Amino acid sequence: MQPTTEPRNAILVEKTPLETYVPPAKPSLIGLSRTELADRLGEIGVAPAQRKMRVQQLWHWLYFRGAQNFDEMTSISKGIRAELAQHFTVDRPEVVAEQISNDGTRKWLLRLPSGDNVQKAHEVECVYIPETDRGTLCVSSQVGCTLNCSFCHTGTQRLVRNLTAGEIVGQVMVARDRLNDWADREDGTRRVTNIVMMGMGEPLYNFDAVRDALLIVGDNEGIGISRRRITLSTSGVVPNIVRAGEEIGVMLAISLHAVRDELRNELVPLNRKYPIKELLQACRDYPGASNARRITFEYVMLKGVNDSLDDAKLLVKMLKGIPAKINLIPFNPWPGTAYECSDWDQIEKFSEYVFNAGYSSPVRTPRGRDILAACGQLKSETEKLSARERQALRAMAMTD
């Protein structure tokens, strides 16, 4: 995606130009709740008394077995399968590129309909990070982000649109497809064991779709990833934090990054709307937070900006009374940024201080940096298209 990194990466899927995008002709059933599936079955003539059983079957084929077409769904009658195929698909977002990092991290570039203009496409990224004891999928919630955090690559891309629930669940399904990770895997183990809503976008500014998608991902008759293994990261949309606990019930991560409002206003501009004190109160009120279910505070390590021992001291002080762990993230550079990652011994000193004060303080190992797949490096080409569009518009305005 970025010219500086392109030659080193394996791009396994031939990338077609955005301009040649052909939108899907029929809607996909992916992302629908059981009630919505029952309604669709009603639309194709399935009798009310049969719908519940058919929904159970469909759910199993879609989300437990990962069926990629209706023909596979052999427990459903041929007639209904044919009707379904005539009106719907089980398509996931289209994979237009797959890159594999030297460390095994995989990044998929996915193409989606633009929503408002069927001839145009949008793109998002989704990243799989294998570790010895788990495999984490980093999922996007929006194309771009409205929030412009100064150290984040995604923030430099203007928001194009919210993803639908189907496009969010679809990312998990794409990963399971590409990793051969559905229920019938011979060894019975799982590759995708954890989900983090830490890709492109602010999940709490796309609340309903993120909620609906995560309820499907966590459903134990389907994809079945437990809510304790799903983490939602927010830059601090205070009014939706408690709601997330009540309506989704997943683990919470807060992108804190600074301990003083003055600096946080600069790094995470949303802080001007919801300052640190209000943010921490929402964390205190988060339903289900306990020592067994701690809230993660993410803290990006920026050289000379937020990495002093005074910052560490204040951090420990302000988290008092909140069941918390602290995740230190070495800053991942991207083309054009003015920030630098803190020196390694400073990160260690910071981590040690926090650890000695009684908090778990792991330093997140940067993964997939060579393919710009690490935290904050995601950015899709959609903006490039819109830049071209803007240029075309300017040219048109000049000729008017």
Q: Minimum CB separation from ligand SF4 for residue 261, in Å? A: 17
* Subset of 233-262 contacting ligand SAH (CB under 6 A): 233-235, 255
Q: Minimum CB separation from ligand SF4 for residue 282, in Å? A: 16
Q: Minimum CB separation from ligand SF4 for residue 140, in Å? A: 9
* Alpha helix ranges (H) inside 121-237: 165-178, 207-218
Q: Does the annotation mark 125 as catalytic? A: yes
* Alpha helix ranges (H) inside the chain: 34-43, 48-59, 78-87, 165-178, 207-218, 238-247, 261-267, 276-284, 309-318, 344-356, 382-399
CA gap 320, 315 in Å, rounded: 9
Q: Are 138 and 126 in contact (CB under 8 A)?
A: yes
The residue number whose beta carbon is nearest to ligand SAH equals 376
CA gap 108, 93 in Å, rounded: 10
List the catalytic residue out of 167, 283, 375, 383: 375
Does 149 sit near ligand SF4 (CB under 6 A)? Answer: yes
Q: Minimum CB separation from ligand SAH for residue 221, in Å? A: 28
SS3 assignment, position 378: coil
Q: What are the two backbone dihedrals, phi and then psi, of residue 48, each rounded to the nearest 5 degrees?
A: -50, -40
Given 147, 174, 214, 315, the residue binding ligand SF4 (CB under 6 A): 147
Q: Does the annotation mark 149 as catalytic? A: no
Does 145 sit near ligand SF4 (CB under 6 A)? Answer: yes
Q: What one-letter code names the amino acid at 88?
A: F
User: Choosing among ligand SAH, ligand SF4, none, which partner's interface includes residue 198 (Cβ < 5 to 8 Å by kind)?
Assistant: ligand SAH
Nearer to ligand SAH, 68 or 346 (CB): 346
Nearer to ligand SAH, 84 or 145 (CB): 145
Q: Minimum CB separation from ligand SAH for residue 182, in Å? A: 27
Q: What is the DSSP string of 317-339?
A: HHTTTS-EEEEEEEPPP-TT---
Taking Cα atoms as reference points, which of 53, 55, 49, 89 lies closest to residue 71?
89
List the catalytic residue out of 125, 167, 202, 298: 125
For the annotated catalytic residues, the residue numbers are 125, 375
Positions touching ligand SAH (CB under 6 A) are 149, 151-153, 198, 202, 233-235, 255, 298, 300, 329, 331-332, 375-376
